């Protein structure tokens, strides 16, 4: 087994103490406190990180406010701003190996995946959003004001940045989530305070360096590392923040909404999921089995859209479950730096305990574990890819988001049955449909209450595809031109001629 060589730049980056990035300067936390981010493959310390708190959030918000109200950012032409955002994408590609290694070390994901997916997708997002900077148009409007007969008006709309935006992101795709948030915010001219997840702060700190190098003026992007309650909560509550954008658990999403009430800041949320993946009997046999496995096991199941509820039409149920179980058994689980690793460790000890807790609950509720079902070894946070059947709809493993490599599989009889079963969830983030019948595919796509429906594919992401949730999976959309709505205000201007 060959193992990737640690890049010397990554080695010195992880060894250096990490500060907060506020107003274009690197500073210690006001409290002077730090915390350790561990390597999930070993549980050992990886890097020392500044533990930001309310005072640091306040400093960062004031820096962003000043940058928005008085700085050069608002005076740049859209073209200049677009070029700066484009440059961030270029710099991400120039630093692809460093970013991929940091992502693998901090999150646990295979380095091969970080190189092929996380980092290029993050660069793409900035490149895609850069083009929108010059296309944030309003429109001219024809008025017919009934109480002003004979009066003529010239009316138009302007699309303007919201202002100071707090962005709180999770640990499953640390760099990519930063890109999804920062790309549209910057392209539309906002100023940002980014709060990375405490489990995975490293790539956001390198990104802050690249953002400064790209020419983003001081104070436009601030990065405050720290814990949710200490740094995230005061950011969501801060009165000088105009909008908060959050990706994470539905539970914390509800806290964000409550925190935002004080000044009624705008809120966008990308939350949990329990996504159905539906295989019809006429689906391509190999592609549907491989697709069902990929839907749940990609990124160790630590995806908010993980296809964690697999529904298979009765006549093919045993064959598909067996096929997915075979793939589960064959997955090479190991250190993310080993070139043959297909699945790394879960991100943290807490996550390991959460996932194994769900496995225990499924067993005690009487579900059948077809393969997997437990922790691997006692070093690092590794868990077996797991397939479970014979569940009942009320079981916790069927209803709640596990956020690990665990799929529950159930048979179904007809299209009507499956539409109801698939939608029987408080979530509505993603869904998959596998069939060779084009009408059935689109009929299902229409009936599924989910923000994304994949047909004969799964986990396909692109900067142009809007992403977000129905029901308790969130508010608003990220990516695509829909993301611009979440970062702009529309101003109506009406002039009497």
Note the residues at the interface with ligand ADP (CB under 6 A).
168-170, 195, 197-198, 227-229, 232-233, 236, 248-249, 252, 255-256
CB of 485 to ligand ADP, least distance (A): 23
β-bridge pairing 474-475 and 266-270: antiparallel
Q: Are 24 and 208 in contact (CB under 8 A)?
A: no
CB of 255 to ligand ADP, least distance (A): 5
Report the residue number, 91 or 236, with the smaller CB distance to ligand ADP. Answer: 236
Percent helix, percent strand, percent coil in the chain, to nearest 5 = 40, 20, 35
Report the residue number, 58 or 97, with the smaller CB distance to ligand ADP. Answer: 58
Cα Rg for the chain, rounded, in angstroms? 23
Instruction: Return the structure tokens found at 327.
Output: 């793939």
Q: Measure the CA–CA gap between 430 and 276, rounded to whole angstroms.
A: 7
Length of the chain: 497
Report the residue number, 354 or 390, with the smaller CB distance to ligand ADP. Answer: 354
SS (H, E, C) 424-465: CCCEECEEEEECCCHHHHHHHHHHCCCCEEEECCCCCCCCCC
Report the residue number, 236 or 431, with the smaller CB distance to ligand ADP. Answer: 236
Q: Burial letters for 444-472: b for 16+ Cβ neighbours within 10 Å, e otherwise?
A: beebbbbbbbbbeebbebebeebbbbbbb
CB of 474 to ligand ADP, least distance (A): 12
CB of 370 to ligand ADP, least distance (A): 26
Report the residue number, 184 or 196, with the smaller CB distance to ligand ADP. Answer: 196
Report the residue number, 205 or 370, with the smaller CB distance to ligand ADP. Answer: 205
Q: Measure the CA–CA gap between 258 and 200, rounded to whole angstroms.
A: 25
Q: Give yes or no: 270 in active site.
A: yes
CB of 236 to ligand ADP, least distance (A): 5
Which residue, 234, 235, 163, 229, is CA-closest to 194? 235
CB of 198 to ligand ADP, least distance (A): 5
What letter would DSSP give residue 5?
P
Report the residue number, 396 or 481, with the smaller CB distance to ligand ADP. Answer: 396
Which residue, 372, 426, 371, is CA-closest to 399? 426
CB of 303 to ligand ADP, least distance (A): 11
| Residue of 304, 313, 401, 478 marked catalytic | 304
| Residue of 103, 270, 401, 478 marked catalytic | 270
Q: How far from the centroid of its chain's Cα atoms is residue 97's Cα?
A: 21
**H or E segment at 221?**
strand 221-223
Q: Give yes or no: 304 in active site.
A: yes
Going 96 to 295 to 482 to 168, the CA torsion angle's sign is negative
Neighbouring-strand partners of residue 25? 22
SS3 39: coil
**Catalytic annotation, residues:** 270, 304
């Amino acid at each position: 087994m060959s193992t990737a060589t640690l890049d010397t730049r990554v080695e010195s980056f992880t060894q250096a103490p990490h500060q907060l990035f506020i107003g274009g300067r690197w500073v210690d936390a006001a409290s002077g406190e730090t915390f350790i981010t561990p390597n999930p493959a070993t549980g050992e310390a990886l890097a020392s990180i500044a533990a930001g708190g309310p005072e640091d959030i306040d400093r960062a918000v004031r820096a962003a406010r000043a940058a928005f109200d008085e700085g050069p950012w608002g005076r740049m032409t859209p073209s200049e701003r677009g070029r700066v955002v484009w440059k961030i994408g270029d710099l991400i590609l120039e630093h692809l190996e460093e970013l991929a290694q940091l992502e693998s070390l901090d999150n646990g994901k295979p380095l091969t995946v970080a190189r092929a997916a996380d980092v290029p997708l993050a660069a793409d997002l900035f490149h895609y959003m850069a083009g929108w900077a010059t296309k944030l148009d309003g429109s001219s409007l024809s008025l017919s004001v009934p109480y002003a007969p004979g009066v003529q008006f010239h009316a138009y709309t302007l699309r303007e940045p919201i202002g100071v935006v707090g962005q709180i992101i999770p640990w499953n795709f640390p760099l990519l989530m930063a890109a999804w948030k920062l790309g549209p915010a910057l392209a539309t001219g906002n100023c940002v305070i980014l709060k990375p997840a405490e489990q995975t702060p490293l790539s956001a700190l390198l990104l802050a360096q690249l953002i400064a190098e790209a020419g983003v003026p001081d104070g436009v992007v601030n990065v405050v590392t720290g814990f949710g309650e200490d740094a995230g909560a005061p950011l969501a509550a801060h009165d000088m923040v105009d909008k908060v954008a959050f990706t994470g658990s539905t539970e914390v999403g509800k806290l964000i909404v409550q925190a935002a009430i004080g000044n009624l800041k705008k809120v966008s949320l990308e939350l949990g999921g329990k996504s159905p993946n539906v295989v019809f009997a006429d689906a391509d046999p190999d592609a549907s089995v491989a697709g069902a496995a990929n839907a749940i096991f990609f990124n160790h199941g630590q995806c908010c859209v993980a296809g964690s509820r697999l529904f298979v039409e009765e006549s093919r149920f045993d064959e598909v479950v067996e096929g997915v179980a075979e793939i589960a058994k064959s997955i090479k689980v190991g250190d993310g730096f080993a070139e043959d690793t297909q699945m790394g460790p879960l991100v943290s000890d807490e996550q390991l305990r959460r996932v194994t807790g769900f496995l225990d609950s499924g067993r005690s509720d009487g579900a059948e574990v077809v393969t997997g079902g437990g922790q691997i070894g006692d070093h690092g946070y590794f868990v077996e890819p797991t397939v479970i059947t014979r569940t009942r709809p009320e079981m916790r493993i069927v209803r709640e988001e596990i956020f690990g490599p665990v799929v529950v599989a159930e048979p179904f009889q007809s299209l009507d049955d499956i539409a109801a079963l698939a939608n029987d969830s408080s979530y509505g983030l993603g869904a998959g449909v596998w069939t060779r019948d084009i009408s059935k595919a689109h009929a299902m796509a229409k009936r599924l209450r989910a923000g994304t429906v994949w047909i004969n594919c799964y986990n396909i992401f692109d900067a142009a595809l809007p992403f977000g949730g129905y029901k308790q999976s969130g508010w608003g959309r990220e990516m695509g031109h829909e993301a611009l709505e979440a970062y702009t205000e529309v101003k109506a201007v009406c002039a009497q001629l």
